[in-house]
A = this chain, B = another copy of it.
Amino acid sequence: MVIECRLMRSPEELVKSFRESGRKVTPQREKIFQILQGNKTHPTAESVYAELLREMPTVSLKTVYQTLHELVGMGEISPLDLGTGSARFDPNQSTHHHLVCTRCHSVKDLYLDIEDIQIPGEQLEGFDAGTAEITFRGHCSKCRTAVSGQSQIAVHQG
């Protein structure tokens, strides 16, 4: 299976790209680029905001949403609705799917080789299926331990 890896560009490249497209580069935006770079946690706007607040105590949540939307518009990150309450943002632009823990809401990337999901034509009825997202729901290893041994003291492996 060949996986083509397509990630959000580096903060430096994004700075360049923002300037080139007439967008302005602010310290807030640069810091958001850094928070997102290589981030595999599928953060929400709120969690990006929380991290940003540690260095910029006056930043507003609106600024975070605005920058995330810019990045989505530029194709640098993808918005995800995994049914965990708030929207999540994924700097991993490779074709991939997700494992969602129904207990702790953690999200893990999953690479599947399935160009071969065939929709029976008679069910399509003219529907033009562009993309297929597969979401697996279950329990992550931490939560599996916790659930099976609920009466015990929960010991989570780091």
Residues of the B chain whose Cβ atoms lie less than 8 Å from the Cβ of A131 = 136-138
Task: Report whether A144 and B128 are in contact in the complex, using a CB–CB cutoff of 8 Å.
Answer: yes
A83 within 8 A of B: yes
Residues of the B chain whose Cβ atoms lie less than 8 Å from the Cβ of A126 = 140-141, 144
Segment at the B interface, from A12-20, A52-60, A111-119: A111-119
Q: How far is the CA of A42 from the CA of B155 in the complex (A)?
A: 41
Residues of the B chain whose Cβ atoms lie less than 8 Å from the Cβ of A139 = 127-128, 130
CB distance from A119 to the nearest CB of B (A): 7
A4 within 8 A of B: no
Residues of the B chain whose Cβ atoms lie less than 8 Å from the Cβ of A151 = none
Task: Report whether B138 and A127 are in contact in the complex, using a CB–CB cutoff of 8 Å.
Answer: yes
Closest residue of B by beta carbon distance from A1? B120
Q: How far is the CA of A126 from the CA of B110 in the complex (A)?
A: 13
Q: Among the listed B81, B117, B123, B128, which residue makes an inter-chain contact with A138, where contact means beta carbons less than 8 Å apart?
A: B128
Closest residue of B by beta carbon distance from A83? B81
A99 within 8 A of B: yes
**Can you list 8 pairs linking A and B with CB atoms under 8 Å apart?**
A99-B127, A110-B123, A111-B123, A112-B120, A127-B141, A132-B134, A133-B135, A134-B135
